[in-house]
Chain A
Amino acid sequence: DAKTTQPNSMESNEEEPVHLPCNHSTISGTDYIHWYRQLPSQGPEYVIHGLTSNVNNRMASLAIAEDRKSSTLILHRATLRDAAVYYCILRDYSNSGYALNFGKGTSLLVTP
């Protein structure tokens, strides 16, 4: 399975933008890039996903490099509630029943 590389931790000030990077140099042409986050003591929740083009939704934006070997999750204005572990996942739809392959993720700290 293709793997992702993320920084262990990042820190941001409240109400500032946050750019969370992810490297996936071995991505295949059919892998979708998914982002999930896990708030303290909760199960993960979906944030956003994309294939080739940049994507926006109410939670965040996803910027995908032209060669698809890296991507960036953008939180436009971080709030204290955005403090969580963010997982960048390459979703393989060819096996394992579409299961998510979680790494260690990036722990985001948001300070007032």
Chain B
Amino acid sequence: NAGVTQTPKFRVLKTGQSMTLLCAQDMNHEYMYWYRQDPGMGLRLIHYSVGEGTTAKGEVPDGYNVSRLKKQNFLLGLESAAPSQTSVYFCASNLRGRAASGDEQFFGPGTRLTVL
């Protein structure tokens, strides 16, 4: 199993440009997430999905859109990139399990995005 993969690994954008980050998981997980991590900070939740065709806002959703057309993929879009969106973006997934089982969240390697 590849686990959680993210495309691309690095990207530089100019202010106002758009792009889509792709997350894929091969573990048949129901739940998927997008987080961002700024220097010296913990991760913050942008959007999440509890199943194919569903999405919901997290803590910092402004400026981002998401789609979950297929269970294994979760896309994060930036319609008009701003310098404040310079960050490392992590995708994660977990099986919808019982709390007692831990329901381990698996993370991708991250996408490092710079907006000039």
A-to-B contact residues, CB < 8 Å: 30, 32, 34, 36, 41-46, 49, 51, 87, 91, 93, 96-105
Determine whether the beta carbon of B48 is less than 8 Å from that of A46: no
Tell me, in angstroms, the Cα distance from A75 to B31 when the chains sit together: 30
The answer to whether A100 touches B56, judged by C-beta atoms less than 8 angstroms apart, is no
Contact (Cβ within 8 A) A100 B105: yes
Give the complex CA separation of A105 and B43 in angstroms.
Answer: 10
Q: Which of A87, A98, A99 has the most C-beta atoms of chain B within 10 angstroms of its own C-beta?
A: A99
Residue among A87, A97, A103 with the highest chain B CB neighbour number at 10 A: A97
CA distance A3 to B38 in the complex (A): 19
B interface, size bucket: 20 to 34
Task: State how many angstroms separate the Cβ of B73 from the closest Cβ of chain A.
Answer: 17
Contact A104 B105 (CB under 8 A): no
Task: Please give, as numbers and ranges, the residues of chain A lying within 8 Å of B4 by CB-CB distance.
Answer: 43
Out of B40, B58, B110, name the residue touching A99 (CB < 8 Å): B58
